[in-house]
Amino acid sequence: MTAKRRKKNTSVRRGRKKSFRTRLWNRIQRLFLFWGILIPGFVFVVYIGYLDYSVRHLFEGKRWSIPAHVYASPTELYVGAPLKADAFEDLLQQLRYRKDRRLSTEATYFRNLNRFKVSTRPFRFWDEEQPSRGIEMDFVGGEVKSLKDIDSGKSIAILRMDPVQIDSFYPSHNEDRILARLQEAPPMLIEALLATEDRNFYQHYGVSPKAILRAVIANLRAGGVVQGGSTITQQLVKNLYLNPSRSLWRKANEAMMAVILEFHYDKDEILEAYVNEVFLGQEGRRAIHGFGLASQFYFDRSLGDLELHHIALLAGLVKGASYYNPRRSPERATRRRNLVIDLMKELGHVTPEQATRAKKMPLEVSSRGRHTTTRFPAFMDVVRHQLRVEYREEDLTSEGLQILTTLELPVQKALETNAEKTLKALEKRPKVERLQVATVVTRREGGEIAALLGGRDARFNGLNRATDIQRMIGSLVKPAVYLTALDDPERYSVVTRIDDVAVELESGGKTWAPRNFDRKEHGPVELHRALAMSYNLSAVHVGLDVGIGRVVKTLRNLGIERKIRKYPSILLGAIELSPLEVTQMYQTLAADGFRTPLRSIRAVLANDGTPLRRYPLTVRQAVDPATVFLINTLLQEVMREGSGRSVYSLLSANYAVAGKTGTTNNLRDSWAAGFSGDYLAVVWLGRDDNRSIRLTGSSGALKLWSALMREVSRQPLDLVPPDSIEWVWIDSESGLRANEACSNAVEYPFISGYAPAAVSPCMKSPLEDFGSWYEELFRFGGED
């Protein structure tokens, strides 16, 4: 009994243990099942939340970095404007206007001999928004003869053409686009996109199994890929959020994010984003995104001006912009375009007649893109420097700013052409080789940089010699020396006699003994003659007399900001300045003593055309205008009779200009600086290794200065004397007051009250004249 009971109890205990283990195992299984579902579920929910945040954060924020676009100065048209018919057509081609006899769209023109009809492109300027309008104009004798509105037939007083785009500031990924609203896109473009990319776009929720199946069938029938299985939403997600790798994980993310995007946003919002995001071409490092830019890149048309055959081509590029590139593979692009047209006909978007007509049309792709590299790197250096004072690099490459500059394309073209010709001609001389050049051209009145050349290769984006090199300026400093002297009218006037004799100075145990270029001494010479002939010894004597410190102060007033050591040698130009700094100095002289900071930018506009920043003309009086008038009058003499007289081998004899040449020791640097009524130009010639170029300022830089001014300047210099200036006849032999009856008399300007008071012997009083006449009368009578 006891044994049976023990056996039974043992069995019961074993059963209980087994039951316990079973229950424990079941609990563990349920626990694993619970946590196995809960943890992955939790992770999945968190991940979906992360995707949701990512989608909304980018889509509701700034989706794209829009590059800043930089424009040249607009061309102004008016009756009498100096512009040739061929030059105007060249401008239209730079603006990417198309020839179209019907003027069916904006940015088109038709030419018949010297008569043009133009449909202009609208543009928002800093001071007004200029709409598109039809104009008719005639050219006669190198100028605009008439300018009329086609619709009204009325004359137009003045019209600004839209400016030429010269550069862009791209973000790091080099994407470029022109944002377009969905309502601005032609309905046919939307129909073409939906026909080829996503027919059920307005029915699905981001992913379409039906589209995948239909694409498979269509591709099998066509024997190639004609449709994709991804919806437009999935394509947008891939472009905006994901990398291009092909994996199941990326595809799963794409599907989930597409559903999230559809959940949060309207279909039209998604479609508008797609229209602006899709990749449609490549130009060098620049990526073409969106149909707004692609329409201009391929057809030189705005999006609203596209026709069926244009639209079908662009829609076809979505499948593979590189593979179907119409410039590189026109036949392949034509087949793809025609396939899109057939799909549109199949869905009833176009009639059979429209389809047939469109398929017969040529591609009509423009011969090239808008630009592939920086066209004016030296000028753009100056623009970037000015912009970075006020804008972050991120703003310049992402906010879509429109930067309107002062660059005048005709002047820039003339500068580049004449620089190339002049340097080639100079290098035909013995031992003249490896010349380099830097030139700055400004508007005389406002200090706006009209053209700039930083080296012999105008397209080289490297060392900018106009801003980055500093060389001795030689005799270009002499106007500042004499300006300092003339600012003391009690001691100096334009006819004050100066000793042009040898001088030796001791400094730091060394002797400085300057000499004239001709190695001669010229004795006492009048101040105006000393400047005209660029005598070194005269300049040194005057500079030492007025004080080197005062000369340095004058240089600062003229605009030189760098530190200048007060050594006697600065009186002969031992100052290292860049061509841009020299231009600022001469700009103050050209502006009659008013200092005007050089400007390369007129205005900065936001992406929507709202003006953000204007760069108006700012001036302050830096030097007495009367004294500057005296110097500018003498600088005219320099060009007419002195070291710059060879300028009139190219310019008309009565075309007034003012300027100065400069040469440094061992003929290392050749300078020319001067101005006409409308432009100022500073030219430097030299070598990068600073060796001798065997050219003086007159035999080198002045050649380019003269050729450039002959081509671009239209206004001779007409100096207007201030009220404090008086003109007095001076006997050139004695330096005393005379009148125009004196045989050697020349009229010179003086500060009022400071002209010579003593009278030249050549002048006689009216009574003396009468007595002489009376004596002569009776003398002849007696002889009779």
Query: What per-residue confidence (pLDDT) applies to 394?
Result: 77
Given a cut of 60, whether residue 417 has pLDDT beyond it is yes
> pLDDT by residue (tens digit) across 634-693?
999 999 999 999 999 999 999 999 999 999 999 999 999 999 999 999 999 999 999 999
The pTM is what? 0.82
Among 360, 379, 397, identify where a domain stops: 360
Are residue 148 and residue 264 in the same domain, yes or no? no
The SS3 assignment for 710 reads helix
> Average pLDDT of the chain?
87
The reported pLDDT for the residue numbered 590 is 97
Question: Helix-strand-coil percent breakdown of the chain, rounded to 5?
Answer: 40, 20, 40
Q: Are residues 527 and 514 in contact, defined by beta-carbon separation less than 8 angstroms?
A: no
Domain assignment present for residue 30? The answer is yes
> What gap in Å lies between CA 758 and CA 745, rounded to an integer?
14
Based on the fold, state whether residues 151 and 179 are members of the same structural domain: no
Q: Where are the beta strands (DSSP E) in 469-609?
A: 471-472, 497-500, 505-507, 510-512, 523-526, 576-577, 594-595, 601-605
Can 197 be counted among the known catalytic residues? yes
Of the three residues 320, 339, 360, the one that is the final residue of a domain is: 360
Mean pLDDT over 604-617 rounds to: 83
pLDDT band at 781 (very low <50, low <70, confident <90, very high): very low
Cβ–Cβ under 8 Å, residues 374 and 41: no
Q: Residue 374: what pLDDT? A: 73
Q: Domain check: are 150 and 268 in the same one?
A: no
Residue 381 lies in a domain: no
Average confidence (pLDDT) over 504-522: 88
Query: Which of 294, 298, 70 shows the shortest CA–CA distance to 165?
Result: 70
The string of DSSP letters for 32-62 reads HHHHHHHHHHHHHHHHHHHHHHHHHHHHHS-
Find the catalytic residue in 73, 475, 534, 643: 475
For the stretch 269-289, pLDDT in tens is 889 888 988 999 988 778 889
Weakest-pLDDT range from 148-152, 579-583, 740-744 = 740-744
Single-letter amino acid, residue 242: L
Could you list the residue range(s) of the whole structural domain that residue 155 is in?
75-168
- pLDDT tens string 392-404: 777 777 778 899 9
We report the CATH number of the domain holding residue 426 as 3.40.710.10
Least confident of 143-152, 416-425, 741-750: 741-750
Q: Report yes or no on 353 lying in a domain.
A: yes
Question: Does 748 lie in the same domain as 700?
Answer: no
Is residue 554 assigned to a domain?
yes
Q: Is the pLDDT of residue 15 over 60?
A: no
Three-state secondary structure call for residue 394: helix
Residue tagged active-site, from 197, 254, 399, 526? 197
Judgement on whether residues 134 and 240 belong to the same structural domain of the protein = no
Q: Residue 354 pLDDT more than 60?
A: yes
Residue-level pLDDT at 213: 74
CATH, residue 351: 1.10.3810.10
How far, CA to CA in Å, does 206 sit from each of 56, 215, 259? 15, 16, 5
| Confidence at residue 225, expressed as pLDDT on a 0 to 100 scale | 52
* Count of structural domains within the chain: 5
Q: Are residues 342 and 426 in the same domain?
A: no
Indicate if 145 and 187 belong to the same structural domain: no
